[in-house]
Structure 1
Amino acid sequence: MTSLHATPAGLATDAHLPEGSGPFPAVLIRTPYDRVRHLAEARGWARRGFAAVVQDVRGRFASPGEWHPYENEAADGAVTARWIRRQPWSDGRYVAVGASYAAHCALVLALEAPGEAAVRPDAVIAAVPALGAAETAREPSGVERLLARAGWWAAHGDRHDSDEGALEQALAADPGLLTHLPLTGLPKRLGRILPSWAGLWRQRERGRLVSRAADADVPLLVVGGHHDHFTEDTLALWRAWGGPSARLLLGPWGHGLLTMPGSDAGPAHRMVLGELYARWAHRALAGDLTPGRHGAQALGDADLWLPAGTEGEPRTQRVRLLHGSRFTADPDRPVRSDDLTVPTGGVPDRCLLVTPPLLRPLDAVGPVRIRLRATSDTPSADWAARLVALTPEGIAEQLAVGVLRREEPAASELTLGLGRLTRRLRAGTRLRLEIAGHHFPAHARNPHTGDDPITADRLLASRREVDPTSVTLTLHVLPFRPTSTDPAKEILR
C-alpha cells in the first residue's frame, strides 16, 4: 500500500493506494474529526482495491481556513473530486463515504456540488447522516436538542482541533451549566469563545437535502441505528432517494453504530461493516445492484433481521391513569431526560399512565403515536411524551420519546409522534407512558413566557391538565411471527 499527501483545495489530504499499478476506483472521506483517525479505515479500503482519499475539512486539524459547519462542504468537496479524477492512479470513479458530519459531506457532493456533473460521486455511503444544521439542532416540531448540540459545540465548535470530553468535564465541575439563562450565554459559562453557537439556533431550514434526494442519480447505502438521534432523517433519506438503487441498514445501535450497541442487540446484530461497505461499493460501481429500495432492519431483543420497510398493523394499547391528570410543568424543576425514576410525593410533575402486562410477546415494528386532549395555562407549552418498558424483573428501559411545541393555551387535541420502534416486547412487560412539559437536558426548557427558549432569561411554571380518558397509545404490531432475513443479501442484492 502506498500513501500520498496532497492539498487539493488547499486542504490536508492523504491518499492510500492499493498494491499494483492501477488505475483504481476511489473512496473520498471528508471529515472534521481528524483524517489521521481514519488510517485503519483507509487501509481497509486499500486492501479491498480502492484508493482511499481522506481529507480534513476547511478549518479543522491540518487544514487551514475558518471552520464554518455545513457551509463549505459542497464547494470544497467538488474541488477535491476533480483532483481525484485527474490523478494517474484514478480510473475516474469514486464513492463518497462518511458517518455523521462526514455523511453530510458525502451527500452534498451527490446533491448540491456546484459545477459540472463530473464532480458528483458514482455512489454514496452515508452512515448516521447529520443532514444539516437545522436537522441536528431541532426536532421537526422546532424543539431544541440542547444536550447533543451543546456537547458537539463544546467538543468541536469554533476550533481547529477537538476535545471530545469537554462538556462532560464541564458538567462535572458545574452541574448546573445547562440551566444557564439565556442559553446564548452558555459559551461564556463554559469558558469557551463560540461565536457560531448563537447562529446555530437561527437555522430553521429543515429538509433541504431530503427534498433534493428525489433528483439523485447514483446508488445510495444509508446506515443508521434505532437508538441514534438521526434515525428519522436516515429513513427519510432512504425513502426519498431517486437514484437507481437505495439500500438501508438499520441496526439496534446508537450514533456510534457497532461501537454503541443497545441493550436489545444480539449476536446476529454484530456485523463487519467495512467488508459490507466494500462489497456494496464494488457492486454499485459495476451497476450490479437490483433497482429499487431494499435493505434490512434489526428486530431488537429478538436477534433477527427484517426486510427494510416491514411495518406492523396499528394497534391501540389500553392505558390507565396512575396519577397526575393535573400537574405542574416547572422549568426550575423539569422532568429529566437522563432519569427514569418517577417521584411519588409532592405536586405531580407529569401525567403517568400504564398498560396492563402483555399477555404474549409483541413485535412492535413501526411508528409510535399518542393522542390526547390537554390544556396549559401559559402562552407557549411543550408536550413531552416518553414510553418506558417495565420488564417483569422490574427494570425500566426507555423505548421512545416525542416532543411537541404548541403556542395556544386553550384546550386542544394533541398528536405526538414518538419515532419508531423495531422491538420485541416480552410477555409480562408493562408500558409506562409519561406526559410532561419538559425533557431536559436532552431538550431545552420551554420558559412558558412565549419567548424563544434560547434567548429567554426568565421562567414560568405551567399548569397542565390531561383528560386521561382521551389518551390513546398506538403501536404498529406484526400480526405474524417473523423469520430472519440475511442483511448482507438484502444490501447486496
Structure 2
Amino acid sequence: MIDKLSRPVNLVTARRSTTVTTTVGAFLLIAMSAPFVCAADFVVEKDVMVAMRDGVRLATDVYRPAVNGKAVDERLPVILSRLPYNKDGQAKAARYYATHGYVFVAQDTRGRYKSEGVWHMLTDDGPDGVDCAAWIGKQPWSDGKIGMIGTSYFGGTQHAMALAGAPELKTVIPVDAMANMGRQSVRHAGAFELRFWNWIFLNAGRGSNASKDQGTKDALTEMASQRFAYLDQLPTRRGMTPLRLSPEYEDWLVSAMEAGPNTEFWAQNNIVDAPEKYKDIPVYLVSGWYDSWGGNNTANFMALTPTIKGPVYMIMGPWIHGQQTGSAHGQVNFGPSAAISDQWAWRQEWYDHWLKGIDNSVGKADPFKTPVRIFVMGTGDGSKDVKGRLQHGGFWRNENEWPLARTQYTDFYLQPDGGLSQDKAATKKSVTQFQFDPKNPVPTIGGNVSSGNDILLQGAWNQKGGSHVWNFQEPIPISARNDVLVFQSEPLAEDLEVTGVIEVRLFASSSAVDTDFTAKLIDVYPPSSDWPGGFDLNIGDGIIRGRFRESLKKEVLMTPGEAYEFTIKLYPTSNVFKKGHRIRVDISSSNFPRFDVNPNTGEPLNRNRLTKVATQTIYHDADHPSRIVLPVIPASQP
C-alpha cells in the first residue's frame, strides 16, 4: 500500500469570518473563527470547541477526505484519537486516514493544551469520550461508527471509552495502553514506578493550565531540568517543590505515591478486575516484551477473551514503548523482521474490516490470521551488527491462545552454591544474606520502562555499568555488587524456549518490618570474539513490597526475622535461551530509578523521613524451595 503522504502537500489556510453555533442533542458545538487547512485530497477544521456534559469545551481537529480541495459529502466512519500530548502531533496519522476513506478526529483531553477544564489522570476520559462520541455520531460527515487509535496515555483513553460503553464506538486498537494501574506499571506490586514521577515533573509545565503563564512555566521548566537533584530528595511532598504551581499534577503524583493498595484510587481502566464492564467490540491489543505496559497487555487479553465475543486479538513484539516500527533498542538488534514497517496501513486493514465491512485479511493472514501473534526472541547468532549491537534475533509465530496451551511450567530452584537447577536443594537449612542500603540502591539498566527521558534506559542492555548509566558509571557488571545475589544454570545442553508469564517464588526474611525484594531474569551469553566478556541480556524483571506480600489490597507489615514466601511477577516474555547459554536470576531489594526505594522503616508510603539498612536473608533449602517458574515451550517435533 502506497502512503499518499510521502509526497509533498501544499497547504492553504483559510479562516471563517463568522462564529457558528450549532446545538446537537445535549451537546453544544462552538466553532469560533475555526481555521480550515485545505489540500487537494483532505481538509482540516482546527480547534473546534466541543462541549462536554458539564460545559467544559475540548479542542478538536476534524480531518475530512476532499476532492479538489472540497470536502466530500459522504458520511464516513471516524478514526478518533483523544490525547494529552497536543492534538497537532496527530497530523501525519490524520492525513493518512483522511486520504484513505475516513474522517479523522483528534482531541486534546481535558485540561491539556487548547482544551478547557482541569486535567485528571484518565478519570474524566470515560465520560468525556462518551460525550465526544455522541457529538461525532450526530455530525453530517459521520456514519455513526468510530474506531479509536493511540498509544500509551491515548491507548488508555481507548480503554476508558470502551469501559464507559460509548454506543458509537465499534473497535479499538490500544497500543502500549494504560490499564490496571494499581496492579503493575504504575503502582507495581506495592512499589511505585518512578517513570510516572518523571512524567509528572515533565508534563506539569507542558500543555498544562499552569504553563499558560510564562513565569510559572519557566519555574516548572527549571524544576524539570533539575530532576536528578529531586530524585535525591525523594519522597516528593505536597507544597515543598515548584510542583505546587501545577496543583492538579502535584495532587495526583503525591496521592499516587501514597496510594499503595489496589483500591478505588486505581479503579479507572481496571480491566483485569472488571472485564465485564468492557464494551463487546473487536479489540486488537498491541505491546512489546520490553514495554512498560506489556504485562497488562497480556493480562487484558486473558481477562477479555473469555468475557466478550470481541473478537480479541493480541500482538507482542520485541519492542520498547511505542516503537513498533523499530527492530533494535538499547544494545540489541532483533533483526529487520521485528519491525512493522507501515504503522498506518495494518491498522487500516483492521478498520476497513470492522468499520466498513470489507472482506480482507482479518482472520485470514498475518498479522490477523490467529488471535495471538508473538515474536520469539533469541535465535540470532549473537554477533555484533554494524552499530555494535548484539544480534539477538528472533522470529514471528502465530498462536491460538495466551498463555500457550502446550506450556510446561518448570521450576528452576535457587541452589546454595549460586546455581540454578531443576533439582531441589537437598540441604535442610541453607541461606544467603546481604545488606540492602536504601541510600545505595541497585541501578536500573534497561527493562520495561517508558517516560524514561534521561533518568531511565529502555529495553535490552548488557547488565554492566558505564557512562550510559547515570547512577552506575563504572564499567563493571552489576553482578559484582554485594547486594545482588546471582543464581545461574550450567550452560544449556539444548535450546530452551521460555514463552509466557514468569514468577519467582522466593522464601526470604528481613531485619526490617517492611522491605522490597526484586528479581531479574537474564540470558547469559558465553564469551565470544565479538563479546570477550560475554553479554548479560536482561529479559524481564519484577518487584514485591513486603507489606503487600499477602494481597495487593491490604498492607501487613512483616515480623523481623520471620521467613515468608514472596511471589514476584516478572513481565511476560518469549525468548529462546540457546545451547551454551546460561539462565540467570538476580535477586536483590532495589532497582532504581525503575522503582521507588523502600526505606525499610515501615513508615506510611511516601511519608518517610528515615532510612535503615536491612539485613536480607534468602532461603534455598529443602523446606524453603525458592525458585523461578519458567513457562517452557516444548521443542517442535520434526
TM-score range, shorter chain: 0.7 to 0.9
Q: Whole-Å Cα distance in 2 between the matches of residues 167 and 275 of structure 1? A: 39
Q: Which residue of 2 aligns with 1:234?
A: 297
Are 1:282 and 2:340 matched, yes or no? no
Aligned residue runs from structure 1 range 209-358, under 5 A: 209-215=271-277, 216-241=279-304, 242-258=308-324, 261-262=328-329, 263=332, 265-271=334-340, 272-286=342-356, 294-302=371-379, 303-308=394-399, 309=402, 311=404, 312-317=407-412, 319-320=414-415, 321-322=417-418, 325-338=432-445, 340=464, 341-342=477-478, 344=480, 348-358=482-492
1:331 CA displacement: 0.5
Q: Is contact 2:504-2:629 (8 Å) kept?
A: yes
Question: The residue matched to 1:151 in structure 2 has which SS?
Answer: helix
Q: Find the aligned partners of 1:217 and 1:68 in 2 and give their Cα distance.
A: 26
Shift of 1:286: 4.5
1:21-54 per-position Cα deviation (integer Å, ceiling 9, x unaligned):
3211101100100111110011111122110000
**Distance in structure 2 (CA, Å) of the matches to 1:282 and 1:482:** 38
Say whether the 8 Å CA contact 1:447–1:460 is kept in structure 2: yes
User: Matched residues, percent identical?
Assistant: 24
Relative to its length, the structure with more helix (as a share) is: 1
One of 17, 22, 44 as aligned partner of 1:3: 44
Q: Which stretch of the first structure deviates more once superposed, 3-12 or 292-301? A: 292-301
CA contact (8 A) 2:182 2:188 kept: no
* Structure-2-length-normalised TM-score: 0.68
Runs of 5+ consecutive residues of structure 1 not aligned to the other structure? 484-493
Aligned to 1:195: 250
The answer (yes or no) to whether the contact 1:45–1:52 under 8 Å persists in 2 is yes
Which 10-residue stretch deviates more, 166-175 or 355-364?
A: 166-175
Name the counterpart of 1:371: 505
More deviation, 466-475/387-396: 466-475
Gaps of 5+ in 2: 1-41, 52-56, 67-71, 212-218, 380-393, 420-430, 446-462, 465-476, 528-533, 547-556
Counterpart-to-counterpart distance in 2, 1:167 and 1:388? 39
On the 8 A contact 1:318/1:356 being kept in 2, the answer is no
Say if 1:67 and 1:421 are closer, same or farther in 2 by CA, change over 3 A. Answer: same
Q: Take 2:102 and 2:352, find their aligned partners in 1: how far apart are those partners?
A: 9
Q: 1:132 to 1:167 in 2, by over 3 A?
A: farther
Runs of 4+ in 1 over 6 A off after TM superposition: 166-172, 189-192
Structure 1 residues 174 and 417, CA, compared in 2 at 3 Å: closer, same or farther?
A: closer
Query: Partners in 2 of 1:97 and 1:435 — Cα distance?
Result: 39
Give the 3 Å change call, closer, same or farther, for CA 376–423 of structure 1 in structure 2: same
1:214: how far off?
2.9
Deviation at 1:14, TM superposition (A): 0.8
**CA contact 2:409–2:632 (8 Å) conserved in 1:** yes
Change in 2 beyond 3 A, CA 1:77/1:189: closer
- The count of residues paired between Structure 1 and Structure 2 equals 474
1:413 positional shift: 2.4
TM superposition shift of 1:448: 1.1
Cα distance in 2 for residues equivalent to 1:431 and 1:210: 31
Q: Would the aligned equivalents of 1:177 and 1:190 in 2 still touch at CA under 8 Å? A: no
How far does residue 159 in structure 1 lie from its aligned partner after superposition? Answer: 5.0
**The one of 455, 479, 486 aligned to 2:634:** 479
Farther off after superposition, 222-231 or 173-182? 173-182
Secondary structure in 2 matching 1:12: strand
> Contact 2:502/2:571 (CA < 8 Å) preserved in 1?
yes
State how far apart, in whole Å, the 1-side matches of 2:81 and 2:193 are: 27
1:166-193 deviations in whole A, cap 9, x for unaligned?
9999798564431314333697177964
2:426 corresponding residue in structure 1: none
Are the structure 2 counterparts of residues 482 and 370 from structure 1 closer, same or farther at C-alpha, using a change threshold of 3 Å? farther
Distance 2:594 2:320 in 1: 15
Find the partner of 1:153 among 195, 200, 206: 200
Mapping of 1:393-404 within 5 angstroms? 393=527, 394-404=534-544
User: By how many angstroms is 1:482 displaced?
Assistant: 8.8
| Partner of residue 525, structure 2 | 391
Indicate if the aligned counterparts of 1:387 and 1:401 stay in contact, CA closer than 8 A. Answer: yes
What residue is the counterpart of 2:134 in the other structure?
A: 82
Aligned to 1:488: none
Instruction: Decide whether the 8 Å contact of 2:238 with 2:244 is kept in 1.
Output: no
Mapping for residues 397-416 of structure 1, pairs under 5 Å: 397-406=537-546, 407-408=557-558, 409=560, 410-416=562-568
Query: How large is the RMSD of aligned CA atoms in angstroms?
Result: 3.0
Rounded Cα–Cα distance in structure 2 between residues aligned with 1:471 and 1:284 = 48
Q: Deviations over 1:315-336 (max 9, x none)?
A: 2335543499110011011112
Q: Which amino acid aligns with 1:198?
A: V
Residues of 1 paired with 2:637 and 2:320: CA distance?
24
Letter in 1 for 2:490: P
- Report if aligned partners of 2:126, 2:164 keep a CA contact under 8 Å in 1: yes
Q: Residue 489 of structure 1 corresponds to which residue in structure 2?
A: none
Q: 1:8-23 alignment to 2 at 5 Å?
A: 8-9=50-51, 10-19=57-66, 20-23=72-75
